């Protein structure tokens, strides 16, 4: 039996695997980069081993170092989690060659399916070779790995070359393999997958379907089980194809077979030979612990002849530190608070006070709700996320809540183009109009009305805040009876709680301030100085780094004096394992270019200036 497991991963998935190991009485070993020295997964493990460096290529993608760490820590098994080396056959072999148990499929099965090009050949399918106008749109896709990295949609033939180049670079950085291929892109399809679990005795379970159609940059955002609205015949076809794929490679362990579904047609996409991020929705519906079953299979255990019967519906939302309204730009900084109601399941690798860095995926947590019906599960998850208190960098929480309540989603009519159609409406700011006043009253709490000489003590005091892209002002007064404001009755005000009565209705506002950032319930404001610093002003047309990262490319042939068009890419930044294009905000002339390939930049650093024509 397995007694000690090293998880060759980090963050949320490492914490999730450790939780099951503790339940089973198995000791746990974490590995960590220097950037993760104080991360939650290192704090909850029984033992932690350092991997020197910060970038994935020198830490979590170094299979040799991880095997050495397992041996040194006395582990007798390795679980790869997802991402990184989870679908690397050579790593699986190295683990087995070291005399350790591998909690995953056989290396031969990984090899057969890990490359999407080889998987298609195994399933009797082929990729596009010579792309023509008639083939558009197409999808450029990394042969190794997943998670939306190394993927580009191409709608114009002359954009194919750049898409291939950038996809190769991103895939090589994320997976150590720059191979890409091209396949048709079906914009009206749904992303549906089947969870499989197989033992070494010939039993293969197909644990229902999942719908993962709501995606950004080809990375899933909201997932659910079972996939809604599929006919019985189509569900049976998907399960049959998934089991066939598993048997074709003598599969063992947990895996997922993914399809693009249009009407009653199912198109094979790939087989992921690992645990998926969205596995909790299947666990909730079938009442199983997939990690515990993975361990049992690795120990040689046999599955029951038939899987458990499904029960109810489950929905998962991925909470990211990112700004959907600004090209999904990842955010960094301190996560001061992550407080989600305990009515739902929360899988996370972070707690309040942890830092969100630039080296890894910006996912904060996965929130999962389970209920007897789909409508109840969706309502439960949306309500819990709305009541969550998340203080720190910008997140996609509001987008998740609005997506879950959007009519196209609640009716089950969504597809992979959901955010292409609705992102602008879903990210239109809807700040609480009373949030600035609540913030100002909380800040003013405890200050004497005699503090600070003025001619008229009844004159209003003002506070200025940035609320999204707008500047707002809140006015209040110190009176004999306490704090007051026009048009509202101040029922209570202290540094953490403000209660206002508006038109006879009392409203409560939780207030927390972290530096110049103020969180009022779910509205975040930035305190503005009374007198703006002229040195902080930037020239119109300035291109500022939206995140910390590395400049990987500057547009070819571009120099000061070059004409540029609005939307034309100027600089490419790499951050959090993704490449981000920084484009010209206006049509005009490039008057300054400060970015250079290989340069490390911080948030707000000036990269270039375009003077509008």
Q: Active-site residue numbers?
A: 274
Beta bridge partners of 564: 588
353-356 long-range contacts, Cβ below 8 Å, gap at least 24? Answer: 354/38, 354/39, 354/40, 356/321, 356/331, 356/332, 356/392, 356/393
| Residue 447 CB neighbour total at 10 angstroms | 12
Task: State the burial class of residue 568 (Cβ atoms within 10 Å of its Cβ: 0-12, 13-18, 19+).
Answer: middle
CA angle, residues 147, 253, 258, in degrees to nearest 5? 40
Pairing mode of beta strands 606-612, 588-593: antiparallel
Distance CA 306, CA 495 (A): 57
Helix, strand and coil content of the chain, in percent to the nearest 5, comes to 25, 35, 40
Distance CA 546, CA 579 (A): 12
Distance CA 24, CA 202 (A): 25
DSSP one-letter code for 534: G
Selection from 425, 313, 426, 432 nearest residue 380 by Cα: 313
CA angle, residues 355, 358, 361, in degrees to nearest 5? 90
* Residue 48 Cα distances to 31, 36, 37, 40, angstroms: 6, 11, 9, 11
Distance CA 443, CA 465 (A): 12
DSSP one-letter code for 228: T
3-state SS class at 231:
coil
CB 200 within 8 A of CB 252: yes
Dihedral sign from CA coordinates of 601, 602, 604, 605: negative
Query: What residue has token string 């991402």?
Result: 83
Distance CA 473, CA 495 (A): 19
């Amino acid at each position: 039996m397995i007694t000690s497991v090293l998880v060759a991963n980090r963050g949320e998935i490492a914490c999730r695997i450790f939780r099951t190991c503790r339940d089973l009485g198995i000791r746990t070993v974490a590995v960590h980069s220097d950037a993760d020295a104080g991360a939650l997964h290192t704090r909850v493990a029984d033992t932690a081993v350092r991997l020197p460096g910060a970038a994935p290529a020198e830490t979590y993608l170094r299979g040799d170092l991880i095997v050495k760490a397992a041996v040194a820590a006395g582990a007798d098994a390795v679980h790869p989690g997802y991402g990184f080396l989870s679908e690397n056959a050579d790593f699986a072999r190295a683990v087995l060659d070291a005399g350790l148990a591998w909690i995953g499929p056989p290396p031969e099965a990984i090899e057969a399916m890990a490359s999407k090009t080889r998987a298609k050949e195994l399933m009797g399918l082929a990729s596009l070779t010579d792309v023509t106008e008639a083939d558009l749109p197409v999808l450029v896709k990394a042969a190794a790995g997943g998670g939306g990295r190394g993927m580009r949609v191409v709608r114009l033939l002359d954009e194919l070359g750049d898409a291939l180049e950038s996809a190769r670079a991103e895939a090589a950085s994320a997976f150590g393999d720059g191979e890409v291929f091209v396949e048709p892109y079906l914009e009206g399809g749904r992303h549906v997958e089947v969870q499989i679990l197989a033992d070494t005795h010939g039993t293969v379970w197909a644990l229902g379907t999942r719908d993962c159609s709501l995606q950004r940059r080809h990375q899933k955002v909201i997932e659910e089980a079972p996939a809604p609205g599929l006919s019985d015949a189509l569900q049976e076809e998907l399960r049959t194809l998934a089991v066939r794929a598993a048997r074709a490679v003598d599969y063992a362990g947990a895996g997922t077979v993914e399809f693009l579904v249009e009407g009653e047609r199912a198109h094979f996409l790939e087989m992921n030979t690992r645990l998926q991020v969205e596995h909790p929705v299947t666990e909730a519906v079938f009442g199983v612990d997939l990690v515990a079953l993975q361990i049992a299979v690795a120990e040689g255990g046999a599955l029951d002849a038939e899987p458990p019967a499904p029960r109810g519906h489950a929905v998962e939302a991925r909470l990211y530190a990112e700004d959907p309204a600004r090209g999904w730009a990842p955010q960094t900084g301190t996560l001061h608070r992550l407080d989600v109601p305990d009515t739902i399941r929360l899988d996370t690798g972070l707690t309040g006070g942890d830092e969100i860095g630039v080296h890894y995926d910006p996912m904060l947590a996965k929130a999962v709700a389970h209920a007897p019906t789909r409508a109840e599960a969706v309502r439960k998850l949306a309500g819990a996320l709305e009541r969550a208190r998340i203080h720190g960098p910008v997140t996609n929480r509001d987008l998740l809540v609005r997506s879950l309540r959007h009519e196209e989603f609640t009716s089950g009519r969504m597809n992979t183009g959901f955010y292409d159609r609705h992102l602008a409406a879903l990210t239109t700011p809807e700040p609480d109009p009373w949030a600035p006043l609540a913030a100002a009253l909380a800040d003013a709490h405890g200050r004497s009305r005699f503090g600070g000489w003025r001619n008229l003590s009844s004159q209003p005091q003002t506070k200025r805040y940035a609320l999204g892209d707008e500047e707002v002002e809140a006015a209040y007064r110190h009176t004999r009876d306490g704090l007051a404001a026009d048009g509202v009755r101040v029922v209570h005000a202290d540094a953490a709680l403000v209660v206002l009565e508006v038109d006879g209705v009392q409203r409560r506002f939780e207030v927390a301030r972290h530096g110049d950032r103020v969180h009022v319930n779910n509205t975040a404001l930035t305190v503005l100085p009374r007198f703006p610093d002229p040195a902080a002003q930037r020239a119109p047309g300035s291109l500022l780094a939206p995140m910390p990262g590395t400049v990987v490319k500057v547009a070819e042939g571009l120099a000061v004096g070059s004409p540029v068009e609005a939307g034309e890419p100027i600089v490419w930044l790499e951050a959090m394992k993704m490449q981000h294009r920084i484009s010209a905000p206006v049509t005009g002339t490039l008057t300054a270019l400060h970015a250079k390939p290989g340069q490390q930049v911080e948030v707000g650093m000036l990269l270039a200036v375009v003077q509008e024509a």
